[in-house]
Chain A
Amino acid sequence: MTTQPLLSVRDLSVEFLTRQGSVNAVDRVSFDLHAGETLALVGESGSGKSACALALMGLTTLPGRVAGGSVLFDGQDLLSLPERALEDIRGRRIAMVFQDPMSALNPLLTIGTQIDEVLERHTALNAAARRARTISLLEQVGIPKPAERLARLPHEFSGGQRQRILIAMALACDPQILIADEPTTALDVTIQAQILALLAELKTRLKLAVLLVTHDLGVVAQVADRVAVMYAGRLVEVGDADALFAQPAHPYTAGLLRATPRLSDIQHRMTAIEGVPPDPRVRRSYCDFAPRCPGADAACAARPPLQSLSPGRLAACVRPFAPVWKEVA
């Protein structure tokens, strides 16, 4: 892409302060997000992807802390803005949808109130106009009979409906960027599909840029244009979704793909990546994935940097594209 990126993250680092010292949850992560594209930030639990997403909006709370880097948006570094300026951007130009729809909504306030307050905060609409817009938003996300449901509390809706409400809330003020942190993880598979379809439709219609944080490659395959893979707090591979799925460069990506069950492969056994993610408290100089990588050798003792393999394609491996995983019979 030759257009200017909408969001430019450079060397973002987030640390967590624990009683035993500080731990790097995100270590110098850099990526760009362009208008209208969907970038999937992929990784397993503990890879730092959620911490990354929160840091973008300045929502990191203690014991977490942004330790360095910059997030350029509209010519400004979000990390250096004062809180009040950030509050103007949040919900208005960059919006976020969280993982657990049950707890992400205030249980004691009506959904009408919770959507209305975003509109009141960021727009100059009067009460009637806000109400109309709220109803319209709920219709767009597929909540039936929205006018009657405005005075209902969150617990009166199903999980899928609550997630739709959260999406409606996020899109209320026409943001340019939507960050979705595991938006479907807490939902049934069938509901998952509906929500993803909804997101895809909204994204096209509203020309949104979406940063989708997820651990589920199935979800990525459905909606992502580009993919960034994280492991142990660092980016290990970035690239166009189709190209990455066809030919993964980093052994971890390849392992993830191999481990994802596919309908066409019902003959093969389930394969997992042996071992566990590394302890974030320990500082290493070698490649984080090496202990689990079948193709690791002495060359991996010096952690390889994330380097460009071709335009738009990066990987942090000394031997990208090497077929390290044995085919399972």
Chain B
Amino acid sequence: MSAPVWELPVSAPAATGWRALSDRQRGWILALVLLLALAAVAIVLPWLAPYDPATIKLSARLRPPAWEERGSLANLLGTDNLGRDVLSRVLHGARLSIFIGAAVVAISAGVGVLVGLIAGFAGGRVDAVLMRWVDIHVAFPGLLLSLVILVILGPGPGTVILALALNGWMVYARQIRSVVLSVRQLPYIESAEMAGARPARVLLRHVLPNLAAPLITLMVLEFARVVLAEAALSFLGVGVQPPGVSWGLDVANGRNYLTSAWWLATFPGLSIALTVLGVNLAASRLRLALDPREREKDFARKLLAKEAR
């Protein structure tokens, strides 16, 4: 008599679509989608503008938004003190802000990742010196130094990118170094290294895949922060200069007319807020998608919330 076979019931059907993808794949896709969305916004939005944002038309100055008494449909969000269409300026402002944000993130991430990798792999004195430098640099008053640099070198998008990138690379260095160290301390990596595995191999096969998730999330969050920083610099007058169009610049301009023309400061500022909010929410989603521990925590929190009710 053959032994009975203790068959387990049929397991759940093979996952399809989104569920079939691994965390890493999901991360890449979400990040790609975000990137494309931002690029689309930057490129497409200005095309939608009904007017040239720099066109001055003094006869139409300070018109309120269309839904107000003196407003007209020709200028949906009103005009500013030089008769320029607010809506067009808002749409155009996106391009420069997104471009600057992306450029700063790319540069500071590049530098920061490099420093972090070197520190993590070299260890010893190199690591100590590099991290000491990071600690010192982190203690610098960021915005103030950016102000000084911009004043001397002359304001403009290029200098803004330089100043912000200079102040932003440290967080990447710390994060990357932390990942490298924790991967290298895994027992099987340690033994691999002792057995002679070359650092390059360890880097490519083990460290990089673990880097992708936290790096992407960090870059997205930093992007949001840089957009805000650029807006603040432009607001203070040392960022983007006319005839460039920047939301921060417009808010600064609108400040002079706060009591008489509230729409001048409101809509550019609102655009900044919405953009940054959107990016931050995307970053939360990304973190959830990429980190299974976050998903468990999220699930546990939702459970608790359900029970509490």
Q: Identify the A interface with B (CB < 8 A).
A: 17, 19-20, 62-63, 279, 282-283, 286, 290-291, 296-298, 300-301
**B3 in the interface (beta carbon within 8 A):** yes
Stretch of B40-48, B84-92, B234-242, B297-305 at the chain-chain interface: B297-305
- Known A-B contacts A282-B8, A282-B9; A62 and B307 likewise in contact (beta carbons under 8 Å): yes
Q: Are the C-beta atoms of B6 and A17 separated by less than 8 Å?
A: no
Q: Are the C-beta atoms of A296 and B4 separated by less than 8 Å?
A: yes
| Residues of A close to B12: CB separation below 8 A | 20
A52 to B299, CA, bound (A): 23
Which B residues, 268 to 309, have Cβ-Cβ distances below 8 Å to chain A?
Answer: 295, 299-300, 303-304, 307
CB-contact partner of B4 in A19, A279, A282, A301, under 8 A: A301
Which B residues, 1 to 31, have Cβ-Cβ distances below 8 Å to chain A?
Answer: 1, 3-4, 6, 8-9, 12
| Residues of B close to A279: CB separation below 8 A | 8
| Residues of A close to B299: CB separation below 8 A | 19, 63
Q: Are the C-beta atoms of A62 and B300 separated by less than 8 Å?
A: yes
Q: Are the C-beta atoms of B304 and A298 separated by less than 8 Å?
A: no
Q: Are the C-beta atoms of A298 and B303 separated by less than 8 Å?
A: no
Q: Identify whether the interface residues of A are mostly helix, strand, loop, or mixed.
A: loop
| Residues of A close to B4: CB separation below 8 A | 290, 296-298, 300-301
| Residues of B close to A63: CB separation below 8 A | 299-300, 303
Name 9 interchain pairs, CB-CB below 8 A, sorted by A: A17-B303, A19-B295, A62-B300, A63-B300, A282-B8, A282-B9, A283-B9, A296-B3, A301-B4
| Residues of A close to B3: CB separation below 8 A | 296-297
Identify the interface centre among B12, B303, B304: most chain A CB within 10 Å of its CB: B303
A17 to B300, CA, bound (A): 9
CB-contact partner of B304 in A62, A283, A291, A300, under 8 A: A62
| Interface size bracket, B side | 10 to 19
Closest-by-CB residue of A relative to B295 is A19
A291 to B4, CA, bound (A): 9
Number of A-B contacts (CB under 8 A): 28
Closest-by-CB residue of B relative to A279 is B8
8 more A-B residue pairs beyond the given contacts A19-B295, A62-B307, with a C-beta to C-beta distance below 8 A: A62-B303, A63-B299, A63-B300, A282-B8, A296-B3, A296-B4, A297-B3, A301-B4
| Residues of A close to B303: CB separation below 8 A | 17, 62-63
CB-contact partner of A291 in B6, B295, B300, B307, under 8 A: B6
A279 to B8, CA, bound (A): 10
CB-contact partner of A286 in B1, B6, B300, B304, under 8 A: B6
| Residues of A close to B8: CB separation below 8 A | 279, 282
Interface string of B150-167 (1 = CB under 8 A from A): 000000000000000000
Minimum Cβ distance to chain B for residue A108 (Å) = 23
Identify the interface centre among A286, A290, A291, A297: most chain B CB within 10 Å of its CB: A291
A323 to B140, CA, bound (A): 76
7 smallest CB-CB distances across A and B, nearest first, come from A291-B6, A62-B303, A19-B299, A298-B4, A62-B304, A290-B6, A282-B8
A286 to B6, CA, bound (A): 8
Minimum Cβ distance to chain B for residue A319 (Å) = 15
A296 to B304, CA, bound (A): 42
Identify the interface centre among B1, B6, B9, B307: most chain A CB within 10 Å of its CB: B6
Minimum Cβ distance to chain B for residue A294 (Å) = 9
Closest-by-CB residue of A relative to B5 is A291
A267 to B160, CA, bound (A): 78
Identify the interface centre among B4, B299, B300, B307: most chain A CB within 10 Å of its CB: B4
| Residues of A close to B307: CB separation below 8 A | 62
A286 to B3, CA, bound (A): 14
| Residues of A close to B304: CB separation below 8 A | 62
A296 to B5, CA, bound (A): 10
| Residues of B close to A286: CB separation below 8 A | 6
A17 to B9, CA, bound (A): 20
A137 to B249, CA, bound (A): 71
Minimum Cβ distance to chain A for residue B292 (Å) = 11
| Residues of B close to A298: CB separation below 8 A | 4
Which B residues, 27 to 66, have Cβ-Cβ distances below 8 Å to chain A?
Answer: none
| Residues of A close to B1: CB separation below 8 A | 297
Minimum Cβ distance to chain A for residue B277 (Å) = 28
A296 to B295, CA, bound (A): 41
Minimum Cβ distance to chain B for residue A304 (Å) = 15
A63 to B300, CA, bound (A): 7
| Residues of B close to A301: CB separation below 8 A | 4
A174 to B21, CA, bound (A): 56
A252 to B277, CA, bound (A): 58
A290 to B6, CA, bound (A): 8
Minimum Cβ distance to chain B for residue A232 (Å) = 13
Closest-by-CB residue of B relative to A297 is B4
A291 to B307, CA, bound (A): 38
